[in-house]
Structure 1
């Protein structure tokens, strides 16, 4: 008897040379075995064959339903991927550029890209339980003793005595705007002896240096600067809190004190600038800032030029620093002037054309070599993939992910080992990347064309980090230093004047350099004020760098 498989799927027919599926072959074998039994009634054989055919028919229908469900699931995944991409684009338009790490996770997980990487580490387990509360040693502790409501003995009526004292975990209390008024009393002294009447009385002199003749201490101005440039709180909020404490101190007075203190801190900014330009490599970027222009009815646009030196990824004894300089223009001439006396070998930047004049052979900075930022190139391919669903763009992002995995493995290694690892792992990826982009450059269009052209035009600078272990794969370090400026710009809307913008640059040079050296910026500024006040300005400013600060060290 031959088994019939009604509605059997074509792909199942291909599973067997005779047109039967594996289960069909099994059932056919059962019928053949039954047929070989002697004296077996034909009616029983026919009945068994009919039942088996019914089973196969039901199995065929079930398989067809499973196949249809798989197709529906595939279609739903495709719709989900498209909606996810549209949502990512809308988020970028609404909130601006986000973290490269977060956007990379979106590309890999939500878009379903399978990325294999030999450098991937196993996910770390999240710490269990609550973290231990850190309490500074110098914090003021207020102890409150608690006794029973009834302190009399129930038997004899005498007063109870404490036999056990249990001190429990303390509770933090905030004392808002705790101000102290410091009054200076200057004494005039003289000798009362008869023989000393000819000696004139001696009067005490004021010891104020930084804030001489002003109604606040330099520590007050330093705190106001920290609140604005470190905590990104506009001065009007400080003015409001002071008014709530019945102190009528105008924000203009506070701003003038902050600007006055900045004049005494400017030499430290110059020392940071000299330190940054004396290294092997530096990163440079610029960011716009709105500056109030009285009489124009609108704001001018100025620029903060940021130069960063951070060797922490390959030098355990690194002394990182970043310097901010304000300028009215974004022209390349400003960058050339800021680097006119640099001894740098490499300068890492983005693709802004204004930096090109720095690398001319006959320029003022002859010998300075360009190094480009791969994060900018990767971001363009990521955006091209979101806009066009280009498989080429997705492949390039995967290649960049592998290169960044190499950088993760190379972090903390000496320069020679970093270079060796990059030559072994990263250089083949860069070579393949250039070949792929060159092959598809002519056929690309839109955002993908822009991304390919951007990468190929600066490819030498993009791969320069491979051949020097002291270079970084991108200039994210200097871009992280701009985050604080962005927050202050958002909360303050604009700088009051060009001179005020220059004050911003001074404080950000000190605050961000302190952060790079894991020093609390508030502690650092107060230490600077105390040293300058103590020495009355006669101090070696090179000894006031953040890495010399003895207070405010951050453990992690």
Structure 2
């Protein structure tokens, strides 16, 4: 910052100083404009995420775009700070919270060179200190576990040789520990790193592993883990209420030299919104097609409420099985009208009424089933009854072939299932619980492109089931898989796999 004493007396020197200051000011304005532009982009994307949400934007692509813009904003703000030699007008958004207490602390002391007073030469004594914490990382490193098994012989009887048995392994005669296999599984199915990329990461540390070798480990682990997935599904069949949905699973079809479309079926249970005591669960099952008999086979023995979208296969299941009652999803109804909201006042009016239902649900989430039913009967039922009359009236006024007519017909033809949440406090307003469980499958599908075979699709379903159940119940999937694979390799009884579940044995 210039003061009067620093100003030159010479006119030319003064003119040069003014021009230099103007250039610096222009530079700062450029940085400021860039910062504001990037900040506006971030705010727009956040409005898109937390405000009225488009149903068409992939949430994972959204996160990737947002983090790139935020990184660009940080770079622009830093450039502005460096140019002005001052702090930015707006403080940076950084994580200033305390770091987890369980992390190891490595202390370093940054002290003065001399403890003598710079004024009088006397001895300095400590009157306090400033402490800061920064998050550090030790890059993942490989190590080799060497197992030695001494053999013993008897000098008196040379035929006797004694040796401890070799420890059991998932990959007999192979090099991976169960910890490494768990890491491969979590990286592939939770962190969405295809095996060839993992092989590239290992190669950077000098560990040369072919992708096919990693695939062999995955297949062997899936064979051991399949009974656990089946146990999860069997446990869910005993529930009184489930969610169901399905998504495509591209699978390589070697005979035709291209991919075919398989299906990953997802079944979920989550009783936490109404205070249920059963642990949340999800199970995935691969099938080669989307035929209606698939969910019927998967849910053999299930009796209760099945909350689903509008896929006709579930309706066929309910018709064939009198012990299954369908509850439909209001989010799917909302989606039909959302696509028309910009051009149709009727669609906007429907969205407003559905939003009122969701506002009530936000208030009763976590209450008991009885309390939820009481509130819904008092406040939600009048909204639903009025909406039905509104849709019925408007449906007679528009063409059945128009998009608005189709949206109205979609809702009215499923009305009985949409009403069921009013009479049972355990039923949610939508099917979002299972849709959230499908998102990891979609991201893995995007990164891996396709499964190599129908068997590979089933392996995918098995391992993804167990990893997602760990995440649902707050368990570290890497640690759980390591312990579980070790137990299975050591012969854990097949009739006691419930003891290995992330929530313990519940059946």
TM over 0.5: yes
The alpha carbon displacement at 1:366 in A equals: 2.3
2:375 corresponds to: 421
Structure 2, unpaired ranges of 5+? 1-46, 63-92
1:518 corresponds to: 474
Give the structure, 1 or 2, with the largest relative contact order (CA under 8 Å, sep 6 or more): 2
1:200 corresponds to: 160
Q: Is the 8 A contact 1:218 1:261 kept in 2?
A: no
Larger radius of gyration: 1
1:358 corresponds to: 317
1:435 corresponds to: 389
Q: Number of residues paired by the alignment?
A: 421
Match 1:412 to one of 366, 375, 379 = 366
1:209 and 2:169 correspond: yes
Q: Is the 8 A contact 2:151 2:163 kept in 1?
A: yes
> Any idea what SS the aligned residue of 2:259 has?
strand
Q: Is the 8 A contact 1:209 1:536 kept in 2?
A: no
The alpha carbon displacement at 1:96 in A equals: 8.7
2:151 corresponds to: 188
2:446 corresponds to: 490
Q: Is the 8 A contact 2:169 2:177 kept in 1?
A: no
Can you list the C-alpha shifts for 1:492-546, whole angstroms capped at 9, x where unaligned?
A: 1111111111111011111111222122222322232233244555671111222
2:285 corresponds to: 325
1:269–1:164 Cα change, 3 Å: farther
The alpha carbon displacement at 1:163 in A equals: 8.8
Match 1:134 to one of 99, 109, 125 = 99
> Any idea what SS the aligned residue of 1:246 has?
coil
Match 1:470 to one of 426, 429, 433 = 426
1:546 corresponds to: 502
Query: 2-side partners of 1:352 and 1:240: how far apart?
Result: 41
The alpha carbon displacement at 1:228 in A equals: 1.1
Query: 2-side partners of 1:504 and 1:411: how far apart?
Result: 33
Structure 1, unpaired ranges of 5+? 1-83, 100-127, 155-159, 550-556
Match 2:237 to one of 256, 277, 288 = 277
Q: Is the 8 A contact 1:303 1:330 kept in 2?
A: yes
1:300 and 2:260 correspond: yes
1:268 corresponds to: 228
1:286 corresponds to: 246
> Any idea what SS the aligned residue of 2:199 has?
helix
Q: Is the 8 A contact 1:283 1:347 kept in 2?
A: yes
1:223 and 2:183 correspond: yes
The alpha carbon displacement at 1:91 in A equals: 7.2
1:508 corresponds to: 464
Query: 1-side partners of 2:315 and 2:211: how far apart?
Result: 43
> Any idea what SS the aligned residue of 2:172 has?
coil
Q: Is the 8 A contact 2:203 2:209 kept in 1?
A: yes
Q: Is the 8 A contact 2:273 2:365 kept in 1?
A: yes
Can you list the C-alpha shifts for 1:98-151, whole angstroms capped at 9, x where unaligned?
A: 99xxxxxxxxxxxxxxxxxxxxxxxxxxxx9954233352x4554556676689
Query: 1-side partners of 2:473 and 2:267: how far apart?
Result: 16
1:406–1:248 Cα change, 3 Å: same
Query: 2-side partners of 1:339 and 1:322: how far apart?
Result: 13
Q: Is the 8 A contact 2:169 2:489 kept in 1?
A: yes
2:350 corresponds to: 396
> Any idea what SS the aligned residue of 1:300 has?
strand
Query: 2-side partners of 1:149 and 1:240: how far apart?
Result: 46
Query: 2-side partners of 1:447 and 1:374: how far apart?
Result: 18
Q: Is the 8 A contact 1:416 1:469 kept in 2?
A: yes
Query: 1-side partners of 2:344 and 2:472: how far apart?
Result: 39
Q: Is the 8 A contact 1:308 1:478 kept in 2?
A: yes
Query: 2-side partners of 1:353 and 1:409: how far apart?
Result: 32
Match 1:369 to one of 308, 320, 325 = 325
1:329–1:136 Cα change, 3 Å: farther
> Any idea what SS the aligned residue of 2:273 has?
coil
> Any idea what SS the aligned residue of 1:356 has?
helix
1:250–1:457 Cα change, 3 Å: same
> Any idea what SS the aligned residue of 2:165 has?
coil
Query: 1-side partners of 2:61 and 2:198: how far apart?
Result: 31
Can you list the C-alpha shifts for 1:306-346, whole angstroms capped at 9, x where unaligned?
A: 0111101112523110100000010101111111221x311
1:166–1:497 Cα change, 3 Å: farther
Q: Which range moved further: 90-99 or 497-506? A: 90-99
The alpha carbon displacement at 1:95 in A equals: 5.0
The alpha carbon displacement at 1:97 in A equals: 11
1:420–1:519 Cα change, 3 Å: same
Can you list the C-alpha shifts for 1:362-396, whole angstroms capped at 9, x where unaligned?
A: x2x3221111011000111111223xx22111111
The alpha carbon displacement at 1:237 in A equals: 1.6
1:316–1:527 Cα change, 3 Å: farther
Q: Is the 8 A contact 1:177 1:241 kept in 2?
A: no
